[in-house]
Structure 1
Amino acid sequence: MNAPSTLPATFGAEAELVAAATALVPALKQRASAIDQLSRLPQETIDDLNAAGLLELTTPRRYGGKQASVRTFLEVVAEIGRGDASTAWVTALINVTTWAAAALFDERVTDEVFGGPERARVVGVLSPRKASVKKVDGGYVIEEGVWGFNSGIYHANWDLLGIPIVDASGKVIDQGVALVRASDVRTLDDWNVMALRGTGSSSVSVTNLFVPDTHVASMSQAIEGKYGATHLAGEPLYRVACIPMLAIILTFPALGIARNALDTFLELLPRRGIQYTWYTKQAEAPVTHLQVGLASAKLDAARAIIEKHADALDASAASGQYMAYMDRAKVRRDVGFAETLIWDAVDSLATASGGSLASLGNPFARVWHDARVASLHGIVAPTTNFETYGRLACGQPADTPLI
């Protein structure tokens, strides 16, 4: 017994990408145990994603990529999330960081990243745990750097790492990102977690790594839509607002996880009664009807909110006008609200599942854990996002530049 399907608002080649994602769902469900044991995605999953072009959603068309809309990005990742949360997370993160590499750097750099025989797979971390940087002729030396939660690093060939931009005296003058080869990064293999295990979100480090000026982009410029890829200025995808793009994509896996949670609950429902009541069939109890009705309404509301903003990002980019400041702040606010709705819905279904969730073999327990951890990423944190928007609405300055 499954929840009704939501038909994607996509056509032609982009609809084919969504269909390809849907076709992967059964295989992804079957690989759940292997994914958890590996703490990264198995090669067969990477091969499947490659074959369908689902790791090239944001690769420029001029380099053989799909260059799909933000809405199609949403639809694809949410479908993958119905099969496996970790695969959806990695797909989202690789594609958004690939987008950043394409948008933030000039043609010489994008030719280097995307123009070679190997498919570009870019991952990244915006905030370093530690980064000591020195300005030198022609670029920067990252003397010592450590970054956590580098999702998808085991499948990447480029890494986009947040660094302070300093002048010759060592004074921090901006925040930036350094585009480096994954082979120059040490993976610390410290990903040992309760959920999203297959994301392989290990910490990474570098020591005394030279990064040329051409491979460092200013985040303050990016936040305002001043991107380095002037050669792609005519392509709407590479005019999408930066921080809203980085934030909204984290809800795409969550939407898929939530759909899987509702499907899984309904599939398990015929096997359960309600302990210490006369109900031998949970599906016959009015309380269950209320729980499912409310949870499904919250999930539909979350989906509608995120679809609206994905469409707005596409429309704003297509218009050639960079998204207005308060509209960008509203995306962050609503990302937090959507995550609240998603988690509330999934957790209410978990409560309705009873003590059987204590079993590691219960398929709903895995979905429940994945939903919780997915909702904890700093950029989707509801309280932070609500406060930020509320400050602006009250005439106060934002408490972050990341709008």
Structure 2
Amino acid sequence: MASLAADGSLRIQPLPQPEPDLTQKRLLERARALRPLLRASQGECESNGRVPQAVVDALIKGGFFRIVQPRVFGGYEFDIATFYRVIMEIARGCSETGWVTSLVGGHPLLLSRYPAETQAEIYGADGDVRCPGALTPLGTASRVQGGYRITHSWVSASGCDLGTHFMGLARIDADDGGTLVQLLVDIGDCSIEDDWFVMGMRGTGSKRVTVTDLFVPDHRVLVVSGMARGAEPLDADVPLHENSMYSGLIGPFLIGETAAVAVGAARGALDIYEELLLTKKSMAPPFRERCHDPVAQQYYGEALSLVLTAEAAMVKSGEDYMAFAQAAKHEGTPFDTAKGLQLTMIAQRCVELSWQAIDLIYRTAGTTASAKQGMPIGRILRNIAVLRTHPVLQRENTAIQLAKLKLLDRVA
């Protein structure tokens, strides 16, 4: 909550955390404990085109949308590596639920760039905020007294069904498209239309969100640049929050949260594969469980090595993000484009490692286990196939950009 001090400045009254003694370890254990519910709900999630309400309730109660939410607003303010670890565990049980939890649960980093009064306003008295967003198609906001007015529809707004707020990207009318802004609105001022009919990731509920002749006040408008995975705020100064995590580059983190979903999904596929190899018998004498077959052992070992490598890289990239942000804030070492591209490239590679593991499992598990309608291995493959189509996960462009920085700078 917020109030005005005698000198007219804004005084922020810290909100209580739902569980002040919650630790990273306990939260990770809680995510693992959700796995049976998540696995059992996969079919319902996909068929209904949204995360089931019982799962949403468990995520809210468990504090999974408060992982990187500022402590002053009732969040736990855990680090990026912890966030990635938890998302991998949730996606291990259900990749669609992992996607929604990651995207919605990661947005407090972006919300921390809005003015202090805006943050105090949206977090309210209890800090219960879930803010999905969408970038495309780019809207057009008209300047009016005290703010902006806009009528627009954004697509692919993952998790909009469980949101309390929404962020949409727009350009400023009569500004030659040079200024981009992130508009923060109440979800109650939006209408939601289900146009998300896809072969995979159906359960993310990435639907169309529309606002009609909506007034957005100045303090709910954030000037940003670019249309990559999360438009980058122009102002890196975050005076309200001491934690350097809130002043780091937004784009690499948002790409990392996507990659964590793919890595968790690969681990989930490996869980199912392991169960299959331990229980399904060979088609040839002596008809022993497939886990005794050296070829099956090789398949499993290769898939395991891919998943383990991706998991380790994701956690290390989260640790690197925190180190880059801390060095920028306390030592003056820039968290620059090269560092951002480095983190992005690692995340993109983790997606590819995960895909290789999932593809291997799908090909070798058997037709019934993989291709039969409703089987979880097939669902995971479809989901991550769709995830891989996201423009920001195409690693070729990242490789070119980073190579130019590393090589041509030396030539110059």
Report the TM range for the smaller structure's normalisation.
0.7 to 0.9
What amino acid does structure 2 have at the position aligned with 1:301?
T
Unmatched segments (≥5 aa) in structure 2: 1-20
Could you tell me which of 390, 394, 402 is aligned with 1:377? 390
Give distance in 2, aligned partners of 1:45 and 1:348.
30
Query: Aligned pair 1:208/2:216, yes or no?
Result: no
Could you say which residue in structure 1 is the equivalent of 2:165?
Answer: 158
| Matched-pair contact (CA < 8 Å) for 2:43–2:374 | no
Could you say which residue in structure 2 is the equivalent of 1:401?
Answer: none
DSSP-derived class of the 2:212 partner: strand
C-alpha distance 14-118 of structure 1, shift in aligned 2 (>3 A): closer
Pairwise CA distance, 1:279: 7.7
What amino acid does structure 2 have at the position aligned with 1:72?
T
Could you tell me which of 94, 106, 118 is aligned with 1:109? 118
| Cα shift readout 1:2-29 (whole Å, capped 9, x = no counterpart) | xxxxxxxxx9711111111111111111
Give distance in 2, aligned partners of 1:150 and 1:224.
20
What amino acid does structure 1 have at the position aligned with 2:115?
D
What TM-score, normalized by structure 2, do the two folds share? 0.85
Could you say which residue in structure 1 is the equivalent of 2:128?
Answer: 119
Give distance in 1, aligned partners of 2:345 and 2:152.
31
Could you say which residue in structure 1 is the equivalent of 2:272?
Answer: 264
Give distance in 1, aligned partners of 2:120 and 2:72.
10
What TM-score, normalized by structure 1, do the two folds share? 0.87
Could you say which residue in structure 2 is the equivalent of 1:5?
Answer: none
Query: Aligned pair 1:330/2:342, yes or no?
Result: yes
| Matched-pair contact (CA < 8 Å) for 2:67–2:75 | yes
Pairwise CA distance, 1:376: 2.3
Could you say which residue in structure 2 is the equivalent of 1:173?
Answer: 178
Pairwise CA distance, 1:260: 0.5
Give distance in 2, aligned partners of 1:113 and 1:265.
44
Could you tell me which of 358, 362, 374 is aligned with 2:371? 358
| Matched-pair contact (CA < 8 Å) for 2:81–2:319 | yes
Unmatched segments (≥5 aa) in structure 1: 1-10, 397-403
Give distance in 1, aligned partners of 2:346 and 2:91.
20
Could you say which residue in structure 2 is the equivalent of 1:241?
Answer: 249
Pairwise CA distance, 1:395: 2.9
| Matched-pair contact (CA < 8 Å) for 1:146–1:203 | yes
DSSP-derived class of the 1:327 partner: helix
What amino acid does structure 2 have at the position aligned with 1:150?
A
How much identity, in percent, do the aligned residues show? 26
Could you tell me which of 125, 149, 156 is aligned with 2:156? 149
Pairwise CA distance, 1:210: 1.8
| Cα shift readout 1:109-150 (whole Å, capped 9, x = no counterpart) | 00111123561111111x2214232222222222x3221110
| Matched-pair contact (CA < 8 Å) for 2:282–2:290 | yes
C-alpha distance 278-391 of structure 1, shift in aligned 2 (>3 A): farther
| Matched-pair contact (CA < 8 Å) for 1:128–1:145 | no
Matched positions, count: 379
Pairwise CA distance, 1:333: 1.5
What amino acid does structure 2 have at the position aligned with 1:339?
V
Q: Which runs of 4+ in 1 moved over 6 A?
A: none
What amino acid does structure 2 have at the position aligned with 1:333?
M
DSSP-derived class of the 1:379 partner: helix
Matches of residues 273-312 of structure 1 in structure 2 within 5 Å?
280=287, 281-312=289-320
Give distance in 1, aligned partners of 2:58 and 2:80.
22
C-alpha distance 228-271 of structure 1, shift in aligned 2 (>3 A): same
Pairwise CA distance, 1:284: 2.9
